[in-house]
A and B are shown apart, each in its own frame.
Chain A
Amino acid sequence: MVIRILIASVGGQGGLTLARVLAEAAVLSGLSVRTGETLGMAQRYGSVVSYVQVGSRVYTPKFTPGEADYLVGLELVESIRNIHYLKPSGVALVADEYRPPYTLSVENPFNTRDQAIELIKKLESKTIIIPARRLAIELGNPRAINMVMLGSLNAVSNIFSHDKVEQAVRKVLPARVVESSIKAYIKGYEYAQAIRNSFLA
């Protein structure tokens, strides 16, 4: 059994850190893991995807469209760009962050976040929109959107125990943000948990 997660983000949003926390949590849980991503400064503010595969035995650094169990989108446009990675039974967890790329900003300056949300829901009905920025800001750390999304993912997928996620966060993140990151994780978990059952029924 392999669980495939695609993380779509804008470079600098913490998508790679999120992938790394998942990798830590997997190894702490005694599972095999592979993540694949393209690194390098040039990716900053560009489109970034991370492939994460967790299971008893995994091989490949990436997977193909139609294979993802979960799409974790840290930004709406990037989520739309990568929605085809989901398999038919897959679920999209998408932060309501809206950062239109340059061309979209210039050509369609009247586009809004709501339109983007509408579009992604149309493209995939099994989409859960997470008010990630609001939740992160409530905790005083606007950069913790990735951790809110980690919580939402774990609420829906139940891949890891809280304990392992917490240990992984402690290993990967710098100490000064560990506590706020764990809180953000719990916030995201609770938010998604609350709407999960009604939603997936």
Chain B
Amino acid sequence: MEYYSLHVYTLPFARLVYLLVPQVFNMVFTPMSLLAEPGTRLPLMGNEAIARGVLEAGVYIVTGYPGTPSSEVIMTLQEYSRDLDIYVEWSVNERVALEVAIGAAISGARAMSTMKAPGLNVASDPLLSAAYSGVDGGLVVYVADDPGPHTTQTEQDSRWYGELAKLPLISPSSPQEAKDYVVASVELSEALGLPVLLRTTTRVSHTVGDVLLGEIKQPRKGRGFSKNPERFVRAGMDWNLERHKWLNSRLARVEELSAKLGLNKVIGAGELCIVTEGAALNYVLETVEEYSLSARVLKLGLLHPFPRGFILDNIRGCREILVVEELDPYIEQHLKTVLYDAGLFIPIRGKTTKHLPIEGELDKSIVLNALGLKQRDQPRSPHKTPRRPPPLCPGCPHRFTFLALKRAISKKGFKLSEVPVIGDIGCYALSVYKPIDMLWTEHSMGASVSMAMGLKLAGYDKPVVAVIGDSTLYHAGLQSLIEAVNKRVDLLVIVVDNGVVAMTGHQSTPAWSTSETGRILKPISLDELVKAVNPDELRIVDSYNYDELVGVFEEFIDKPGVKVVVSRHPCALLEARLKGVKTRYTVDVELCKGCKACLVVTGCPAIVMEGGRARIIQEDCNGCGLCTRFCPYNAIKQMG
């Protein structure tokens, strides 16, 4: 794939165009902002601020796997990588990303891994062992949670990972702190010899705020590695016990060190005390200011180990405590323990007392409500408006694949309601929405093939289809495929290969020959990998070849064994940006009868009905031509 030469076009909408490398566009830009002088104040998104923090902390190795809302840290750094002497590349999955970072950090290099919350689950195995071995160079594990949730399968609260892995965990409240906390994480990590978890939420990572820049440090590379099995070999049980004691002794020092870094703060004074952290702090501060409350706000930056000393130093004299935090009642539970141990009884309101909801993200009105206050202007009620769930893009190759599968299932005489389509994580999961309406499950990376296999083993007697994307297959799907082929189940596996990690903003996959930073890669062929697993059938089809897809699905769907169809076509959005759109389609209003067939079959978002006629939004059509197949009146025409 020759994506690289124009990789700058592969930025997501999320990416800030002004961060593009100027020499690639060969145009005059204002001085590159990520590398701006210390003392400059810039509007930066939380993740961009973290990217700057990486430079200010002297981090040398940055790895990760794309996942909203964490991806822009690596994407931003990659834009500057030519000017920076650092390694910043996507990994095949989060676990590998973290292991690479651990390997670097045990040699004294400063390292960071980035991931969304479910990614930390994938990386949790090396994380827990790394706590016992410790590190020499600072190691920051950046994980972004997603209260809401906006783009994540669960409302996971990764603060518990601090506790589970027995590692320090800190959590910033704003883009400024996000940057500063990277520097603090590295300092803390090196002072303790432990990896540090830097945890954010969507409203920190994806918020733009004004950020004051600090000094950029020389990246710290490895300094060698000497053999020390007691420390690094987890096969010795006596050693493990000793390392556990060592780990606990390290943890005991965290609070004192974090005090020096100023991670916890008291803001304001009063007998009403509010304990908070992360994005929630902002709703609290705005409320306190707007309603002139006399409140003592305890802002926690250190979440694990829970800052017992800071709490006890600052909680006395509180008449009551309100805990304002997102996701689980983490602070609330710890606070109760601390007060109980100290023999203090102060009423605590929070999630367990139902003053705040335990699901969804917070906002100011929820904080007001918890404080017994009313919003000044009562909002009017929303006007009921039909939802607009995100569809597959115009021209998306997945649309061809799913419509062909639908057709093949019907042609073979099966009902759509009896052939489960077990999905995976990626854009193709959007096929769950009407009118495509094909996906039955979407769980966790790589789970499609293995869950489909379980369904068959349990005795499901109709065909079962698993759909998985290229990047997801590399990430964790191959193992599932090995399992299915090895155990000889009957499955149709469709690998939808668009050549890119599309959903998170077009990042590279192991199939690329050059990475975003210009690094020359050895491409790992998806076809060869699948061949090596030796499924009973393998067919590779261009997704835009609808008739061929229908044919092969028909042929394979009820054949015994594992049949793999690689349905391959580049991501339409990326193609449009790389190469432009050569032809577009338009509706001839004279011929259109308003039957809606084009829309109700494809659900292409470039097609709308207006005044009883179909209309194609010109600049949105990516020219795939799929809709023309379904117009009974031949009203959709190619434009000149």
A54 to B567: give the CA distance in the assembly, Å.
48
Contact between A77 and B388, CB atoms less than 8 A apart: yes
* Shortest distance from the beta carbon of B413 to any chain A beta carbon, whole Å: 28
Q: B617: nearest residue on chain A (CB-CB)? A: A99
A32 to B43: give the CA distance in the assembly, Å.
9
Q: Which residues of B contact A34 (CB under 8 A)?
A: 207-209, 282
Q: Which residues of B contact A80 (CB under 8 A)?
A: 383, 385
Q: Does B266 have its Cβ within 8 Å of any Cβ on chain A?
A: no
Contact between A61 and B610, CB atoms less than 8 A apart: no
Enumerate B8-25 residues with CB–CB distance to A below 8 Å. Answer: 12-14, 16-18, 20, 25
* Shortest distance from the beta carbon of B402 to any chain A beta carbon, whole Å: 15
Contact between B505 and A142, CB atoms less than 8 A apart: no
**Contact flags (1/0) for B14-49 with A, using CB distance below 8 Å?**
101110100001011110010000000111000000
Q: Which residues of A contact B27 (CB under 8 A)?
A: 174-176
Contact between A40 and B69, CB atoms less than 8 A apart: yes
Q: Which residues of B contact A172 (CB under 8 A)?
A: 16-18
Q: Does B608 have its Cβ within 8 Å of any Cβ on chain A?
A: yes
Enumerate B424-450 residues with CB–CB distance to A below 8 Å. Answer: 427, 430, 434-435
Most A CB contacts (10 A, CB to CB) among B202, B379, B388, B502 go to B388
* Shortest distance from the beta carbon of A65 to any chain B beta carbon, whole Å: 4
* Contact A84-B380, Cβ < 8 Å, known A16-B13, A47-B388, A103-B387: yes
Q: Which residues of B contact A61 (CB under 8 A)?
A: 203-204, 206-207, 209, 279, 282
Contact between A170 and B364, CB atoms less than 8 A apart: no
Q: Does B603 have its Cβ within 8 Å of any Cβ on chain A?
A: yes
Q: Does B357 have its Cβ within 8 Å of any Cβ on chain A?
A: no
* Shortest distance from the beta carbon of A8 to any chain B beta carbon, whole Å: 11
Enumerate A85-136 residues with CB–CB distance to B below 8 Å. Answer: 85, 87-88, 98-107, 109-113, 119, 123
* Shortest distance from the beta carbon of A61 to any chain B beta carbon, whole Å: 4
Most B CB contacts (10 A, CB to CB) among A84, A99, A107, A109 go to A109
Contact partner, B611, options A101, A112, A175, Cβ 8 Å? A112
Binds A, one of B99-107, B581-589, B594-602: B594-602
Enumerate A120-172 residues with CB–CB distance to B below 8 Å. Answer: 123, 142-143, 170-172
Most B CB contacts (10 A, CB to CB) among A11, A23, A61, A109 go to A61
The number of inter-chain residue pairs (CB within 8 angstroms) is 223
Q: Does B390 have its Cβ within 8 Å of any Cβ on chain A?
A: yes
Contact between A109 and B393, CB atoms less than 8 A apart: no
Q: Which residues of B contact A66 (CB under 8 A)?
A: 375, 377-380
Q: A107: nearest residue on chain B (CB-CB)? A: B386
Q: Which residues of B contact A59 (CB under 8 A)?
A: 174, 281-283, 285-286
* Shortest distance from the beta carbon of A164 to any chain B beta carbon, whole Å: 12
Q: Which residues of A contact B12 (CB under 8 A)?
A: 39-41
Q: Does A62 have its Cβ within 8 Å of any Cβ on chain B?
A: yes
A113 to B29: give the CA distance in the assembly, Å.
39
Contact between B17 and A64, CB atoms less than 8 A apart: no
Contact between B391 and A17, CB atoms less than 8 A apart: no
Contact between B382 and A84, CB atoms less than 8 A apart: yes
Q: Does B314 have its Cβ within 8 Å of any Cβ on chain A?
A: no
Enumerate A7-61 residues with CB–CB distance to B below 8 Å. Answer: 10-12, 16-17, 19-20, 23-24, 26-27, 32-47, 58-61
Q: Does B2 have its Cβ within 8 Å of any Cβ on chain A?
A: no
* Contact A170-B620, Cβ < 8 Å, known A32-B210, A105-B609: no
* Shortest distance from the beta carbon of B52 to any chain A beta carbon, whole Å: 15
* Contact A175-B363, Cβ < 8 Å, known A42-B390, A105-B609: no
* Contact A33-B17, Cβ < 8 Å, known A61-B282, A100-B608: no
A170 to B69: give the CA distance in the assembly, Å.
27
Q: Which residues of A contact B203 (CB under 8 A)?
A: 36, 61-62
* Shortest distance from the beta carbon of A4 to any chain B beta carbon, whole Å: 11
Q: Which residues of B contact A41 (CB under 8 A)?
A: 12-13, 427, 502-506, 573
A99 to B604: give the CA distance in the assembly, Å.
12
Contact between B25 and A174, CB atoms less than 8 A apart: yes
A77 to B605: give the CA distance in the assembly, Å.
14
Contact partner, A40, options B210, B279, B503, Cβ 8 Å? B503
* Shortest distance from the beta carbon of A165 to any chain B beta carbon, whole Å: 14
Enumerate B382-400 residues with CB–CB distance to A below 8 Å. Answer: 382-383, 385-391, 393
Contact between A38 and B390, CB atoms less than 8 A apart: no
Contact between A20 and B208, CB atoms less than 8 A apart: yes
Q: Does B612 have its Cβ within 8 Å of any Cβ on chain A?
A: yes
* Shortest distance from the beta carbon of A170 to any chain B beta carbon, whole Å: 7
Q: Which 5 residue pairs are nearest across A and B when measured between Cβ atoms?
A: A66-B379, A46-B390, A39-B14, A65-B379, A101-B388
* A/B interface sample: 10 pairs, CB < 8 A: A20-B43, A33-B209, A44-B393, A47-B388, A61-B204, A81-B382, A100-B609, A111-B609, A171-B30, A175-B25
By a beta-carbon cutoff of 8 Å, the part of chain B in contact with chain A is 12-14, 16-18, 20, 25, 27-30, 33, 41-43, 68-69, 72, 148, 150-151, 174, 202-204, 206-210, 279, 281-283, 285-286, 363-365, 375, 377-383, 385-391, 393, 427, 430, 434-435, 502-506, 573, 594, 596, 599-600, 603, 605, 607-612, 617-620
By a beta-carbon cutoff of 8 Å, the part of chain A in contact with chain B is 10-12, 16-17, 19-20, 23-24, 26-27, 32-47, 58-67, 77-78, 80-85, 87-88, 98-107, 109-113, 119, 123, 142-143, 170-176
